[in-house]
Amino acid sequence: MNVRIEYPAEFLAAAHWEDSVLMNCYTVRCEMITGTNDAVEQNVALERLKWILFQAMQNSVFIDAREKATIKRLEAAGLRTVPLPAPPVDQVIGMMLYSKLEAVMEGRISVMQLSLSSELGENVIYYQNNMESLGPLAQPGWWQNPEPVCSDARPTAGKVVDIGASQTWKSLDLHWTQDDDDVKSNVVAFRKDEDK
């Protein structure tokens, strides 16, 4: 049986706009429907949603991905950036969140509609659902990746090691139990007396 649920949330993040970093408070409402009867998987999906909002997005800087030099400067200053394929206006951030949350929950819960507003956006509410265009977010990018990544950047070789780049849902203990079963089924046991 499918159940309709809603999750409201607020998070603080910044947007890089016209050479300024502007702090903003975002309000998100996710209207969803369960896609599985497995309560454990429903809970994992919801925890993934929370991780994206409160670990990946909160305290980050939304920025147009074309501003590569600025991204490097912000990251060198220790700030986490979330590159977008367009300027970081509320509508684009809403499209990104709709895509990313839909991807990370992998059908265990589906986003029927997401609304987003912000203080800097004068609390105008933007809606996104599967019937509306994703605009610049229709192109392939990290927002369609079900893993806990919020950038297409690859770790670079050198002396700096980015621990966050290697995070997986398994390392965050937010993986599906079937993933454990798949690993167990791929293990092959050998007896000592077997011929090679």
CATH of the domain at 79: 3.30.479.10
pLDDT per position as a tens digit, 15-74: 999 999 999 999 999 999 999 999 999 999 999 999 999 999 999 999 999 999 999 999
Q: What pLDDT, on the 0 to 100 scale, is given for residue 155?
A: 53
In this structure, is residue 82 part of a structural domain?
Answer: yes
Residue 187 confidence (pLDDT) above 60: no
In this structure, is residue 191 part of a structural domain?
Answer: no
Report the distance separating Cα 108 and Cα 45, nearest Å.
Answer: 6
CA distances from 54 to 12, 49, 109, 121, 152 (A): 9, 9, 18, 20, 20
In this structure, is residue 190 part of a structural domain?
Answer: no
In this structure, is residue 32 part of a structural domain?
Answer: yes
- Helix pair angle (39-51, 90-105), 10° resolution: 150
Report the distance separating Cα 166 and Cα 151, nearest Å.
Answer: 12
Q: Torsions phi, psi of 72, nearest 5?
A: -60, -45
Report the distance separating Cα 105 and Cα 111, nearest Å.
Answer: 9
In this structure, is residue 139 part of a structural domain?
Answer: yes
Residue 5 one-letter amino acid: I
Q: Torsions phi, psi of 89, nearest 5?
A: -85, 160
Q: What pLDDT, on the 0 to 100 scale, is given for residue 193?
A: 54
Q: What pLDDT, on the 0 to 100 scale, is given for residue 157?
A: 47
Mean pLDDT along residues 97-124: 97
- Quote the number of domains for the chain: 1
Q: What is the pTM of this model?
A: 0.85
The range of the structural domain enclosing residue 148 comes to: 4-185
In this structure, is residue 50 part of a structural domain?
Answer: yes
Write out the two tokens for 153. 């950047």
In this structure, is residue 174 part of a structural domain?
Answer: yes
> By percentage, how much of the chain surpasses pLDDT 70?
85
In this structure, is residue 193 part of a structural domain?
Answer: no
- CA nearest to 172, candidates 74, 79, 84, 54: 54
Report the distance separating Cα 143 and Cα 150, nearest Å.
Answer: 7
